[in-house]
Structure 1
């Protein structure tokens, strides 16, 4: 059977499309790059080579993205569609391009982002949505984008943003969140202060219509003190509105005198007070969330060092959240060590406080070694102190207190140190000195002299006992005799 001319054309077209050899009219094809920018296109070029990994459709007149618009481009990882007239993203518009890492939809006419519009892009790292007409970002807009690093919402009309949807476990790689030049008025401080530190450093909120408020001022002042680039590099662009007659806008980071009642000294302890706690494995430990806030309408939230799900840990019995906001770790383990962050929110006055507790869990064997070392050191110190006291107060004679007796030739045999001699012979007390003369018998060791060579005396090595009669009134020796007498 002969093929019709129409069938031949379709078959040839299909073969050419599969081969990826044809480049759309007016576009520039270089290897895996397809550039169709600035051609005034109001619809997608056809055909699109399936080998394309970089597609540039910027500066055209495209108004919407239909479902399956990129179905034939499974290798696509970079899509540039800025400066078009796109106002609608259909469900499934990004189907079959799960490898896409860079998406530029800036400078279009998007007013709303429907639910889960980006859920087909799990590998997406950079999302540009600035200079559109967005007024609100839904909580599920960024859901499923676990690899997202940078997202730009600046130059829109956003009045509300779901900061609570950004968490460490949902967006572990996020380092830039640009919401500058929007219409944000009152910030949910309690949701912002619990954002991952990496997000806080890259959270750009300048050029918004912020309300002058102590809690807002505290947060930005604290970020400035820490040197966060999002505040430090745009310090002159952070302004807030003070209501009165007339309504004025002030640069609050350079006009601190307007916030004198906010007590900066107190702010530091409220926003980032760090407490250190050391416990041993297996012990129960309580982490307090106390601060200056008081009232009936207080709510508490905790962030663990490893960003675990607190609710799940409470259900399995590892943690317990008390009514006063404190957190109990029922049996602390080494893995529980780290910084715990608590946030207390007064829902009536719309203010909050944060507190950090640095917990260190020590193993039991470390405890025993530390105890033994400390005990030995303490014992050595006590023994040394006792020896010093004995030396100071239990010596036979403190010569500074002795009154030197008058010189007497009778004791010259025993040397010139009469203080020492008096100590040896234990002179009687004052009561006993009332008697005219009294004899005490003591045993002393003397070295009798022996005649050496050439008539010179020398000391003998034999010591014999002698008895001395002592005159206790005149401190003189009356008579000396050997035991042989």
Structure 2
């Protein structure tokens, strides 16, 4: 028994020594993995206010948050860390003296989501500077000396949501950041306040969705006063956007070396008052209206002027709601006009948006078509009346309505010529018999042949017309230049 207990003691001694050495190793590794200039708490490293001129080496691979703020770092080169920190999601570099950042500086931290570079000495943002940070969500660059921003500095940052560029020296509005929605598709906040902006792309900014305008801060810039600036910010104030409501007193502009509030310059520049425009459409058109909410990703519902819920796009009604929450009116009718209401529900707040729709009672080219149709109808009516009058009063009288008178037969008549005579035919015999003494209307058709006829069957001046048998006297040909000129083609009423 004594021998067995001695053997057991011999085995227990190495085991205890192994466990104690393992604990020392763990303790030693824990102590050695944390840089001497930093404080470590699990995967968080705080190296702030240590007067560091370089980033500490041998950073632990498991580092998730690294704070290097309030030091004397001047450069951030590609080799600032010897290993890839694939777990690092937050990097704090504010309040240093950084004036140079390599385009490859962020290659070792591809999973970074939060980067603070504020309060440094950066002057330019070079091309593709942040392109390696494809998962970055928040970027702080305020309180630097940035004057130029390359158009490609933020390329491929598809997850960037908030970009702070205030308190710099930027003089050109980076319109490419907001105009092309595919560049920064998730950007909801762009702070450009306290810079040197003078001009704004008002038309491009007005076309932005409300959730983007709500996070576009432009206060404390010496903007040039004009009516477009006034309309832009008055509209944002009407929509109660945070970027204007929260900093209303700090939105000003300069006119004739005088600083004016953007909301009080209408009297100085004689700007027209802002009015919320309604949507207008013509009969048969398709109208699409977006529910322009101040927050992105809200659930939406539309209600018609008759307080009826608008069905989704699977419905067959005239009004339907699309997948993106927009209202679509197809083959619009006059009865579709009225006030449509969008109810939006979000995680932070709810919003109600009303949109008025006016429908013109004609197609887009309706007024012109109506005018052309009326004009054509009027001309047609006038022409019809003229033709009826011509038929009634200017056609030959072929009914022998006079008592005791028969038509005279002229074998020499021809359809090739006619003559108009304004001189009435006086028949002395008829007058003596007490017959009608009015004008004798006749059409004389003359043969082109005969000794007294000229070209085209016309009679030569001075010649007499053939007188039918039984008629007395002769009638001379009228002067061709007089009112009763001779015409060769058209029968003329006599």
TM-score interval, normalised by the smaller of the two chains: 0.5 to 0.7
1:136 positional shift: 2.2
Task: Kindly indicate whether residue 75 of structure 2 is the aligned counterpart of residue 64 of structure 1.
Answer: yes
Map of 1:78 onto structure 2: 90
Normalised by the length of structure 2, the TM-score is 0.52
What is the CA–CA distance in structure 2 between the aligned matches of 1:34 and 1:204, rounded to whole Å?
33
Deviations 1:434-474 (Å, cap 9, x if unpaired)? xxxxxxxxxxxxxxxxxxxxxxxxxxxxxxxxxxxxxxxxx
Task: Kindly indicate whether residue 155 of structure 2 is the aligned counterpart of residue 143 of structure 1.
Answer: yes
Task: Kindly indicate whether residue 286 of structure 2 is the aligned counterpart of residue 257 of structure 1.
Answer: no
Map of 1:184 onto structure 2: 197
What is the CA–CA distance in structure 2 between the aligned matches of 1:20 and 1:120, rounded to whole Å?
32
Task: Kindly indicate whether residue 216 of structure 2 is the aligned counterpart of residue 211 of structure 1.
Answer: no
Normalised by the length of structure 1, the TM-score is 0.53
What is the CA–CA distance in structure 1 between the aligned matches of 2:198 and 2:280, rounded to whole Å?
34
1:72 positional shift: 2.7
Contact 2:286 2:330 in 1 (8 A): no
Map of 2:56 onto structure 1: 45
Deviations 1:193-226 (Å, cap 9, x if unpaired)? 2223211111100000100011111100110111
What is the CA–CA distance in structure 1 between the aligned matches of 2:28 and 2:238, rounded to whole Å?
59
Contact 1:28 1:34 in 2 (8 A): yes
What is the CA–CA distance in structure 2 between the aligned matches of 1:163 and 1:97, rounded to whole Å?
29
| Shift in alpha-carbon separation, 1:84–1:360, aligned structure 2, 3 A | same
Contact 1:242 1:249 in 2 (8 A): yes
Deviations 1:35-82 (Å, cap 9, x if unpaired)? 101000011111111110000000000011101434431110000000
Kindly tell me the number of residue pairs found equivalent between the two proteins: 281
What is the RMSD computed on CA atoms of the aligned residues? 3.4
Matches within 5 A, 1:94-243: 94-166=106-178, 167-243=180-256
Q: Which segments of 5 or more consecutive residues in structure 1 lack a partner in the other structure?
A: 1-14, 280-284, 289-302, 307-331, 341-357, 364-485
Deviations 1:245-287 (Å, cap 9, x if unpaired)? xx1111122454224x22115x543xxx4235786xxxxx577
1:143 positional shift: 1.7
Q: Which segments of 5 or more consecutive residues in structure 2 lack a partner in the other structure?
A: 1-25, 293-317, 333-494
Matches within 5 A, 1:225-374: 225-243=238-256, 247-259=257-269, 261-265=270-274, 268-269=276-277, 273-275=278-280, 359-361=328-330
What is the CA–CA distance in structure 1 between the aligned matches of 2:290 and 2:31, rounded to whole Å?
52
| Shift in alpha-carbon separation, 1:250–1:32, aligned structure 2, 3 A | same
1:29 match: secondary structure: strand
Map of 1:413 onto structure 2: none
Map of 1:455 onto structure 2: none
1:27 positional shift: 0.8
Map of 1:89 onto structure 2: 101
Contact 1:63 1:84 in 2 (8 A): yes
| Shift in alpha-carbon separation, 1:19–1:239, aligned structure 2, 3 A | same
Deviations 1:343-398 (Å, cap 9, x if unpaired)? xxxxxxxxxxxxxxx642479xxxxxxxxxxxxxxxxxxxxxxxxxxxxxxxxxxx
What is the CA–CA distance in structure 2 between the aligned matches of 1:337 and 1:31, rounded to whole Å?
45
What is the CA–CA distance in structure 2 between the aligned matches of 1:227 and 1:335, rounded to whole Å?
25
| Shift in alpha-carbon separation, 1:151–1:111, aligned structure 2, 3 A | same
| Shift in alpha-carbon separation, 1:286–1:361, aligned structure 2, 3 A | closer
